[in-house]
Structure 1
Amino acid sequence: MKLSGYLRVSTESQMDGFGLNVQEKAVRSWCRANGHRLVALHTDAGVSGAKDAADRPGLSAALYDIEKRTAEGLVVPRLDRLARAVTVQEATLALVWRYGGSMFAVDGGEVLRDDPDDPMRTAMREMAGVFAGLERRMIVKRMRDGRKAKAEAGRHAVGQYAFGLHGEGKGRERDAAPNPAEQAARDEIVRLRKAKQSYRVIAAALDAAGLRPRRADRWSAMAVRSVARRAGLS
């Protein structure tokens, strides 16, 4: 079966960690192992799974592949990459099926269509979506509570340190401090962006100079864009 793949990360850390590279390898391996052909791969980097498909260019493109029949189905690494809100999940699945496509998740195989004779099928899928949404909200709450506690203690209140900084110290004494290697990459991004270089050109220049992102092997244009925007550059 010809499949269109969809990958998503919602934070800068995922761009460098459980990111797109890991997800892509999982999707490609699953397609090979199950006899499917991956005809397209679409991504949304730094985009929340709570957003509708219309607000995600990558997901919109993947759905369009199915609508115009260049792909017969959609595959994602996990269903929570498709959506972190059950309403978005169900609306997206309905679109896939309305266009005549099939839906697959690497960690669970085919997501079967609703069957009026098997209401538990739909209920179990929706419950999984509800808990994915709950997990997202609990993570947000923990981060918010942590920032509040740090601020009350007079410490630097962040959920995750921006590129160019890292944490030093332990426990409540942990605070942001410059990361020399990342500072060098950040300064180069700022210099090249002010020289009107594109994100893609900057990514290649950083790789050539041996300046690495936080966890990934190579820079992506989206990761460069994220650092540039944090530095106040468009």
Structure 2
Amino acid sequence: MRLAGYLRVSSTGQLDGYGFDVQRADIERWAKANGHKIVEWFTDAVTGKYDAPDRPGLTDAVQMIRRPAQAEGIVVGKLDRLARALTVQEAILALVWREGASVFTAEDGEVQQDDPDDPMRTAIRQVQGVFAELDRKTVVKRLRDGRKEKAKTGRKAVGEYAYGFAGQGQGRERDAAPEPTEQAAVRRIVELRESGASYRVIASTLDAEGHKPRRAAAWSAMAVRNIVQRQEQQSG
């Protein structure tokens, strides 16, 4: 059977070590053992509160099974990779089944469609979804409580640090520390701004000189502006 492979990680899901590489390896082993072919891979890195409506990878995977179908089903490593919330899980399954396609997990094989003569089938699946959702919410609460406790010590309460800084230390001792490479870029930004350069000119200069932004491929005027404003607030 031709299947679309779908992988998802999230800010909380990474804690269980079930990242993209592990999910893909599980799916590939399962597909090979059961005679299926993965025709295309789709991924989503979900953060915060977002779920299905904001997952382009899942949307594209579902499009693969719409008529005229390019795949006969979708496969995930585990059912909780399909969705974090039970309601979303059930909605996605219903959508795929309505298109005449199938959903598989590398963990348990095909997710069987609802059968009025076998209500226990649906109940078991939904109970599994409930506990998966409970587990996620428990992890989120634990992280939130940890951030609150850390904030009481005067340290930075979240894992993301401003450009120019990186996390240093472990557990409650973890806090922001200067990151040399990024600090050099910050100093260059300040220098160019003080000379009268515009944000756009600064961005182009940073790219030309080899200074790298944290995530993007190139600097933007907005990214430069944010750093300049932060520096001004700190100096003010």
User: Which residue of 1 is the match for residue 230 of structure 2?
Assistant: none
Counting aligned pairs with the same residue, the percent is: 49
The CA deviation string for residues 82-106 of structure 1, in whole angstroms up to 9 with x for no partner, is 0010000000000110000111011
Instruction: Name 2:234's counterpart in structure 1.
Output: none
Q: Displacement, 1:196? A: 9.8
Residue aligned with 2:176, SS: strand
CA shift digits 1:144-194 (9 cap, x unpaired): 111111111222212x355962331x66444333466xx56x96xxx9x94
Cα separation, partners in 2 of 1:78 and 1:140, compared to 1, 3 Å: same
Structure 1 residue 55: Cα displacement:
2.5
1:35 aligns to what? 35
Which 5+ residue runs of structure 1 have no aligned equivalent? 199-204, 206-222
2:32 maps to amino acid: R
State the distance in 2 between where 1:49 and 1:118 align. Answer: 34
* Displacement after TM superposition at 1:49 (Å): 8.3
How far did residue 44 of structure 1 move?
Answer: 1.1
Matches within 5 A, 1:55-94: 55-68=54-67, 69-94=69-94
Number of residue equivalences: 203
Structure 2 unaligned spans of 5+: 190-201, 227-236
Higher alpha-carbon Rg? 2
Higher relative contact order (CA 8 A, sep 6+): 1
CA-based RMSD of the aligned residues comes to 3.9
Scaled by the length of structure 2, the TM-score of the pair is 0.71
How far apart, CA to CA, are the structure 2 residues paired with 1:23 and 1:31? 12
Q: Call closer, same or farther: CA 1:103–1:167 in 2, change over 3 Å.
A: same
TM-score (norm 1): 0.71
Alignment partners' CA distance in 1, 2:172 and 2:51 = 34
The 8 Å contact of residues 12 and 46 in structure 1, kept in 2 or not, is answered as: no
Q: Report the Cα distance in structure 1 between the residues aligned to 2:206 and 2:73, rounded to whole angstroms.
A: 38
Q: How does 1:62-211 map to 2 (within 5 A)?
A: 62-68=61-67, 69-158=69-158, 160-162=159-161, 165-168=166-169, 172-178=172-178, 183=181, 194-195=203-204
